[in-house]
């Protein structure tokens, strides 16, 4: 499936871009041309130059170096939310395909209730309760992501739950975890991959929005959203200042979405799951039918 | 869905952003005309709508400027902060200084027709003292009784000799609200002010705008040259200049970073000296801030001029005390009290028992203070002070919770300098996070309170109190910063007030 997906030109570009981002996440500011925290108050808000390719910020720090250093925090935070959502959503989603009427009804209503909460406002509320940290905010977002996983994986698993080979395995005495691991998991895997790529993109947008609003920032550590916010205050001095962090956010989100699309196109079932992602309620209507 | 369209769609906001950036720096400026006052002209003023139009219930200090449109106070402040007659044309103290009698101007009425008389003053003071949501009750506690002498004379009995009362009566505390309106429906005052100020409210859309027209019955109406004022919430800093050039606002406050854009757009920038001063609130009951040497080291390690130059684009003055230069309470001997000197700072740290440096956490209220905090962090590192910057939990008021012992703050002053000292250093002062003060400071404030404002000794006793406060208390002052008003050339004679904004003499073409 992955190999088929990678035949698409868009997927190749997306993977190359994400590879670069991942490299920056792993290496941190190793490749930063300058110390991202070093201030030069004699050279603030400068445009591009040989010494500073993307110019300097309001304290004379090298913007390129800060952009590179900011990659790790921004991407890590988005991944935190996705991992928490996956852990809380995937297995319960598969199990729910086999659960009884009461458990199904209850779990679906709980999931719907969580889906109704807006990510960013919920994250700000959690930061208000548990302290202004990005980790707290992203745990909150992870909890809100879980029902998305739950819904999609349940929908994907449901179509295989009644299959004859699953019934045969159950009749032969296979325990539930064996059925899930051997017969269901491979079928829902494409949906998991597509959903993860989509949610990682969404998670990054949420991280960027929160740091843009000043939630969970840890000055002077740079974040993409934080850089975007502070650059907007100095548009007069550096009109194109916000472009670099905006492009970093946009490029990564676009790459994740393109990759998700390519994988979806390469796997039929997951395609339907991806549709459901856009409107989980639509899937619910199909379930009922 | 097609995967190819997505990146294109995602590009649209970016293109809009670039367009906005290009537009906001564009040339322009309000067109000039014949330069004569338009008696019907309305000034569109970008300033915060008040938390309540009832001065008794208003919860934000900055509300006073908006409230001054609808209300006049017993006393007004001069440009330099002194007291001048307002609704009261004169006042006098008794010999002991514990009674003050205000004489009102004759034949004044509130906008609902109720007379502005001694009875109205008594009703206002009593409402301020007793209303359950009053935010001025503490300031009025000094008044133990109000006696109506006759229609125009009213006497306040005080719990001690206190010559600050006229100044106290020049802020929200002294604004008179129609007692008829307050008795009819006190809650309605929050959205419908009934005062005797220079303007009368004609339309109010909460969070959007308040429209005022000139009050022909105002005692100083002949000096009100505007037909009206439309108050609108200030524009976002990034679009402030665009809002002013497009005529969305006639005048608005902008942050220092926008001054260059305003000047490039041919707008007039007026730098107004006001009370605002950046400061570090400190809780001296929490280690290591219980050691004055640590705070002196921190103060010596901060290059205030560099903070002004970089974070405030040169708009401001380094300062080591709560009042700006030129104000009566300003004590010259405090200049350069803790001059920038990393070596002295390091020596003080060693003396304080931290020869290898010290770790501190500096809390900021929002990302807006990030630049200033990051610059302080880098400066003090040279002296061996490692600062971790923390952003306060949204919604937390450190004045109440006092959970952050070192907090980057700003102080906006008070009408009475002693009231300002109480807020900053008094044992109940909001900005005194340790809620303690030495007896010599209480004595110095009390001594200043008992000197008449026109006594030649007043300035000196006041400055002594300031000196005592600054040298005994942990609050660390950084620099005073001006209010930066920007307007087109259709706005004339904008008044420079150190305190409340006033509109006498202001006119538009």
Chain centroid, CA B248 distance in Å: 25
Best probe of the A interface among B12, B239, B254, B310, by most A CBs < 10 A, is B310
Q: Is B153 helix (H, G, I), strand (E, B) or coil?
A: strand
Percent of chain A with pLDDT over 70: 92
Is B367 close to A230, i.e. CB distance below 8 A? yes
**Does an H or E element contain B268, and which?**
strand B268-272
Interface probe for B, chosen from A12, A38, A41, A248 (most Cβ of B below 10 Å), is: A41
- Least Cα distance to A56 among A19, A64, B165 occurs for A64
Contact A246 B14 (CB under 8 A): yes
Distance CA A128, CA A134 (A): 11
Interface A-B: count of C-beta contacts within 8 A: 117
The pLDDT value recorded for residue B130 is 96
Cα pseudo-dihedral B7, A223, B374, B14, rounded to 10: 10
CA–CA dist A112, A106 (Å, integer): 10
- Find the range with the poorest average confidence among A155-159, B112-116, B154-158, B249-253: A155-159
A261 sits in which H/E element: helix A243-266
More confident residue, B35 or B499: B499
Q: What share of chain A is helix, strand, coil (3-state, %, to 5)?
A: 75, 0, 25
CB within 8 Å: B309 and A234: no
Dist. CA A153–CA B416, nearest whole Å: 67
Question: Which among B6, B258, B389 has CB closest to A257?
Answer: B6
Q: Which two tokens stand for residue B148?
A: 């109506």
Among A14, A60, A220, the residue to mutate for chain B (most B Cβ within 10 A): A220
Inter-residue contact A204 to A212 (CB < 8 Å): no
pLDDT value of position B58: 93
Predicted pLDDT of residue A252: 96
Q: What is d(CA B424, CA B441) in angstroms, rounded to the nearest whole number?
A: 12
Element housing A139 (H / E): helix A134-161
Q: How far apart are CA B55 and CA B77, in angstroms?
A: 17
* Mean of pLDDT over chain A: 88
Is the Cβ–Cβ distance between B482 and B313 less than 8 Å?
A: no
pLDDT at B344: 97
Enumerate helices (H) and strands (E) in chain B, giving the number of each. 16, 21
Asked whether the beta carbons of residue B310 and residue A41 sit closer than 8 angstroms, the reply is yes
Look up residue B365 and give its DSSP letter: S
Per-residue CA distances from A229 to A57, A251, B224, B373 (Å): 12, 18, 41, 16
Count the neighbouring beta carbons within 10 Å of the beta carbon of residue B249. 25
Task: Write out chain A residues lying below 8 Å of B10, CB-based.
Answer: 250, 253-254
Is B374 in Cβ contact with A219 (below 8 Å)?
A: yes
CA separation for the pair B221, B224 (Å, rounded): 5
Q: What percent of chain B has pLDDT over 70?
A: 93
Q: Note the Cα B379 to chain centre separation in Å.
A: 28
CA distance B12 to chain A (A): 11
Q: What is the mean pLDDT of chain B?
A: 91
Across the interface, whether the CB atoms of A59 and B237 are under 8 A apart is answered no
Residues of A in contact with B392 (CB under 8 A): 132
Highest mean pLDDT among A96-110, B69-83, B463-477: B463-477
Q: Which residues of B touch A124 (CB under 8 A)?
A: 394
Residues in chain B within 8 Å Cβ distance of A132: 390-394
CB distance B449 to B455 below 8 Å: no
φ and ψ of B205, to 5 deg: -115, 105
For residues B155 and B91, is the Cβ–Cβ distance under 8 A? no
B370 touches chain A (CB under 8 A): yes
A124 at interface of B, judged by CB pairs closer than 8 A: yes
Shortest Cα distance from A121 to chain B (angstroms)? 12
In the three-class reduction of DSSP (H, G, I as helix; E, B as strand; rest coil), residue B202 is classed as strand
Closest CB to A243 among B18, B374, B396? B18
Chain A residues within 8 A of B395 when measuring between CB atoms: 128
Q: Determine the average pLDDT of the residues in B139-152.
A: 96
Confidence of residue A275 (pLDDT cuts 50, 70, 90): low
Partner A, chain B 24-53, Cβ-Cβ below 8 Å: 24-25
Residue from B24, B361, B391 whose CB has the most chain A CBs within 10 Å, to mutate:
B391
Looking at residue A120, its pLDDT comes to 87
Q: B42-46 and B228-232 as β-strands: parallel, antiparallel, unpaired? A: parallel
**How far, in Å, CA of B102 to CA of B119, rounded?**
12
Four-point Cα dihedral B464, B468, B474, B475, nearest 10: -10
Residues in A touching B241 (Cβ below 8 Å): 236
Question: What secondary structure letter does DSSP report for B175?
Answer: B
Q: What's the pLDDT at B178? A: 98
Alpha carbon of A131: minimum distance to chain B alpha carbons (Å): 5
For chain B, how far is it from start to end, CA to CA, in angstroms? 56
Q: Which of A220, A229, A265 sits opposite B389 (nearest CB)?
A: A220
Q: Would you state the structure tokens that stand for residue A279, as one six-digit string? A: 């409107």
**B15 contacts chain A (CB < 8 A):** no
What count of residues does chain A have?
289
Rounded to an integer, what distance in angstroms lies between the CA atom of residue B463 and that of residue B279? 19
Does residue B255 belong to the interface with chain A, where contact is any CB pair within 8 Å? yes
A215–B contact, CB cutoff 8 A: yes
Coil, strand or helix at A77: helix
């004859």: which residue's tokens?
A: A164
Of the candidates A44, A262, A278, which has its C-beta nearest B310's C-beta? A44
How sure is the predictor about B168, in pLDDT bands with cuts at 50, 70 and 90? Answer: very high
Pick from B255, B257, B373: which is nearest to A219 by CB? Answer: B373
Which residue from A132, A219, A253 is facing B393, i.e. has the nearest CB? A132
Neighbours of A31 (CB within 10 A): 12
Q: E-strand spans in B174-290?
A: 199-205, 209-214, 228-232, 251-253, 268-272, 277-282
Q: Does A39 touch chain B (CB under 8 A)?
A: yes
Q: What is the pLDDT of residues B265-314, one digit of tens each?
A: 999 999 999 999 999 999 999 999 999 999 999 999 999 999 999 999 99
Residues B294 and B428 sit within 8 Å (Cβ to Cβ): no
Whether A277 shows a pLDDT value over 80: the answer reads: no
User: What pLDDT score does A235 carry?
Assistant: 87
Phi/psi of residue A37, nearest 5 degrees: -105, -5
Strand pairing of B385-391 and B358-364?
parallel
Taking CA–CA distances from B362, the nearest residue in chain A reads A219
Round to whole Å and give the CA distance between A128 and A117. 16
- Which one-letter DSSP state was computed for residue B197? S
CB contact under 8 A, A265 and B21: no
Kindly report, residue by residue over B451-473, the tens digit of the pLDDT: 999 999 999 999 999 999 999 99
Task: Report the predicted TM-score, pTM, of the whole model to 2 decimal places.
Answer: 0.87
pLDDT band of A6, cuts 50, 70, 90: confident
> Residue A279 CB: number of other CB atoms within 10 A?
10
- For B324-365, the pLDDT digits (tens) are 999 999 999 999 999 999 999 999 999 999 999 999 999 999
- Give yes or no for residue A220 having a pLDDT over 60: yes
**The pLDDT of residue B22:** 42
For residue B7, what is the nearest residue in chain A, using CA coordinates? Answer: A254
CB A283 within 8 A of CB A158: no
Report the distance separating Cα A26 and Cα A214, nearest Å.
Answer: 25
pLDDT in tens, A104-148: 999 999 999 999 998 888 888 888 888 888 888 889 889 999 999
Q: What is the DSSP letter of B73?
A: B
Is-contact A255 A14, C-beta < 8 A?
yes
Find, among A104, A227, A23, the residue nearest to B371 by Cα: A227
B25 confidence band (pLDDT: 50, 70, 90)? very low
């Amino acid at each position: 499936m992955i190999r088929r997906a990678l035949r698409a030109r868009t997927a190749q570009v997306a993977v190359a871009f994400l590879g670069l981002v991942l490299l920056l996440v792993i290496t941190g500011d190793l490749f930063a041309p300058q110390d991202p925290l070093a201030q030069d108050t004699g050279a603030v808000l400068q445009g591009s130059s040989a010494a500073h390719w993307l110019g300097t910020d309001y304290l004379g720090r090298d913007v390129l170096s800060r952009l590179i250093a900011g990659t790790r925090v921004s991407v890590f935070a988005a991944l935190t939310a996705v991992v928490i959502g996956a852990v809380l959503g995937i297995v319960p989603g598969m199990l729910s395909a086999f659960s009884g009427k009461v458990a199904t009804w209850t779990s679906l209503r709980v999931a719907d209730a969580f889906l109704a909460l807006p990510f960013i406002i919920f994250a700000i509320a959690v930061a208000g309760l548990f302290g202004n940290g990005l980790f707290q905010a992203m745990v909150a977002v992870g909890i809100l992501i879980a029902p998305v996983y739950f819904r999609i994986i349940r929908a994907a698993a449901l179509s295989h739950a009644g299959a004859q080979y699953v019934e045969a395995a159950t009749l032969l005495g296979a325990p539930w975890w064996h059925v899930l691991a051997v017969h269901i998991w491979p079928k829902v895997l494409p949906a998991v991959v597509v959903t993860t790529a989509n949610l990682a993109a969404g998670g990054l947008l949420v991280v960027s929005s929160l740091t843009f609003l000043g939630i969970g920032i840890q000055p002077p550590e740079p974040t993409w959203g934080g850089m975007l916010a502070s650059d907007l205050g100095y548009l007069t001095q550096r009109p194109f200042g916000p472009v670099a962090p905006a492009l970093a956010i946009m490029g990564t989100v676009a790459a994740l979405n393109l990759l998700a699309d390519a994988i979806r196109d390469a796997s039929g079932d997951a395609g339907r799951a991806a549709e459901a992602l856009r409107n989980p309620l639509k899937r619910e209507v199909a379930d009922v039918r | 869905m097609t995967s190819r369209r997505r990146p294109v769609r995602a590009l649209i906001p970016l293109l809009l952003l670039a367009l906005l950036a290009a537009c906001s720096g564009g040339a322009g400026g309000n067109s000039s005309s014949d330069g004569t006052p338009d008696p019907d002209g309305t000034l569109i003023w970008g300033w915060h709508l008040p938390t309540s139009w009832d001065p008794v219930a208003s919860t934000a200090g900055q509300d006073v400027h908006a409230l001054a449109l609808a209300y006049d106070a017993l006393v007004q402040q001069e440009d330099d902060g002194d007291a001048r007659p307002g609704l009261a044309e004169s006042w006098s103290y008794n010999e002991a200084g514990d009674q003050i009698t205000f004489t009102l101007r004759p034949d004044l009425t509130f906008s609902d027709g109720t007379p502005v008389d001694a009875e109205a003053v008594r009703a206002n003071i009593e409402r301020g003292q007793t209303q359950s949501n009053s935010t001025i009750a503490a300031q009025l506690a000094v008044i133990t009784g109000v006696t109506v002498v006759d229609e125009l004379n009213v006497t306040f009995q005080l719990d001690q000799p206190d010559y600050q009362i006229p100044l106290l009566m020049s802020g929200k505390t002294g604004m008179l609200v129609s007692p008829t309106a307050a008795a009819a429906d006190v809650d309605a005052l929050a959205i419908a002010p009934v005062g005797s100020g220079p303007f009368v409210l004609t339309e109010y859309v909460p969070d959007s705008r308040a429209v005022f027209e000139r009050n022909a019955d105002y005692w100083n109406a002949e000096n009100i040259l505007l037909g009206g004022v439309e108050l609108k919430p200030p524009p976002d800093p990034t679009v402030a200049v665009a809002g002013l050039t497009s005529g969305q606002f006639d005048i608005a406050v902008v942050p220092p970073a926008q001054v260059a854009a305003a000047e490039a757009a041919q707008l007039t920038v007026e730098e107004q000296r006001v009370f605002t001063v950046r400061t570090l609130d400190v809780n001296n009951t929490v280690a290591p801030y219980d050691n004055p040497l640590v705070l002196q080291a921190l103060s010596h390690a901060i290059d205030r001029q560099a903070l002004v130059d970089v974070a405030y684009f040169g708009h401001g003055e380094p300062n080591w005390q709560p009042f700006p230069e030129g104000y009566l309470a300003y004590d010259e001997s405090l200049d350069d009290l803790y001059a920038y000197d990393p070596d002295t700072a390091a020596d003080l740290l060693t003396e304080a028992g931290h020869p290898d440096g010290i770790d501190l956490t500096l809390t900021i209220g929002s990302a807006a203070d990030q630049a200033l905090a990051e610059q302080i962090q880098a400066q003090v590192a040279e002296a061996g002070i490692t600062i971790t910057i923390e952003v306060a939990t949204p919604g937390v008021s450190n004045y109440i919770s006092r959970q952050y012992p070192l907090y980057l703050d700003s102080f906006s002053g008070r009408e009475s300098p002693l009231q300002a000292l109480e807020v900053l250093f008094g044992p109940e002062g909001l900005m005194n996070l340790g809620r303690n003060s030495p007896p010599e400071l209480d004595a110095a404030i009390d001594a200043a309170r008992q000197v008449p404002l026109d006594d030649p000794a007043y300035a000196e006793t006041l400055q002594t109190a300031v000196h005592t406060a600054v040298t005994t208390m942990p609050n660390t002052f950084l620099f005073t910063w001006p209010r930066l008003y920007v307007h087109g050339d259709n706005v004339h004679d904008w008044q420079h007030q150190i305190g409340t904004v006033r509109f006498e003499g202001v006119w538009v073409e």
